[in-house]
Copies of this chain bind each other. A is one copy, B any other.
Amino acid sequence: MTLSLQDPLLATYALAASLMILKTMAMGWLTVWRMMQVKGGYRAPEDLRRTLLNRAPDPAQLAPDERVERMRRIHMNDLENVPFFLAAGFLFVLTGPPLIWAQVLLYGYVASRLLHFAAYVTAQTHDLRATLWTLGSLMVMGMALRVVWVVLA
């Protein structure tokens, strides 16, 4: 396989991977947005200095704020999952799977993570969130297992 984005398998991967990169980076921005909304949830002691962005510092700004912490938990969940999807998906397309399977797994993963985000940010039940996490986790492990299988076969 020469790596060309005109190859439909690699194009599928590149699109799914880029969307997951943008989704994860967005969590940093959502955390910042919430910190500006609640004017708190900071972590570094120097963030209590008076600056343009923090005109009225207050020690309480270093206390955890659930609206900020929720974004951090979602971000953390992405860090536990997305980098491994990025690597597994790339190796998976190198095994030359049928295009339809690549589309189902790679776009299906993106869908599972967007639904996981929707469930988490609106505080749905643990059961729903866990189901969506499970779905994505199984897809990543399935892709990695296929790579192991192809290499050893």
Pick the contact of A44 from B54, B123, B141 — CB < 8 Å?
B123
The answer, yes or no, to whether A88 is at the interface (CB within 8 Å) is yes
Pick the contact of A125 from B24, B51, B127, B130 — CB < 8 Å?
B51
Instruction: Known contacts A15-B152, A18-B88, A126-B51; decide if A1 and B1 are in contact (CB<8 Å).
Output: no
Q: Assess the A140–B51 pair: CB atoms within 8 A.
A: no
Q: Assess the A148–B18 pair: CB atoms within 8 A.
A: yes
Q: How many angstroms from the CA of A52 to the CA of B62 in the assembled complex?
A: 36
Q: Assess the B44–A94 pair: CB atoms within 8 A.
A: no
Q: How many angstroms from the CA of A150 to the CA of B150 in the assembled complex?
A: 30
The answer, yes or no, to whether A117 is at the interface (CB within 8 Å) is no
Q: Assess the A148–B79 pair: CB atoms within 8 A.
A: no
Looking at chain A's contact residues, is the secondary structure mostly helix, strand, loop, or mixed? Answer: helix
Q: Assess the B25–A140 pair: CB atoms within 8 A.
A: yes
Residues of chain A from 1 to 15 with CB closer than 8 A to chain B in the complex? 1-5, 10-11, 14-15
How many residues of A are counted as interface, with CB atoms below 8 angstroms from the partner's CB atoms?
66
Beyond the given A43-B73, A49-B126, please list 12 additional residue pairs across the A-B interface where CB-CB is below 8 A.
Answer: A1-B3, A2-B3, A5-B94, A14-B94, A15-B148, A15-B151, A17-B87, A21-B144, A25-B141, A44-B129, A49-B125, A79-B80
Q: Assess the A123–B45 pair: CB atoms within 8 A.
A: yes
Q: Assess the A17–B126 pair: CB atoms within 8 A.
A: no
Q: Assess the A3–B5 pair: CB atoms within 8 A.
A: no
A66 cross-chain contacts in B, Cβ below 8 A: 45
Q: How many angstroms from the CA of A54 to the CA of B126 in the assembled complex?
A: 9
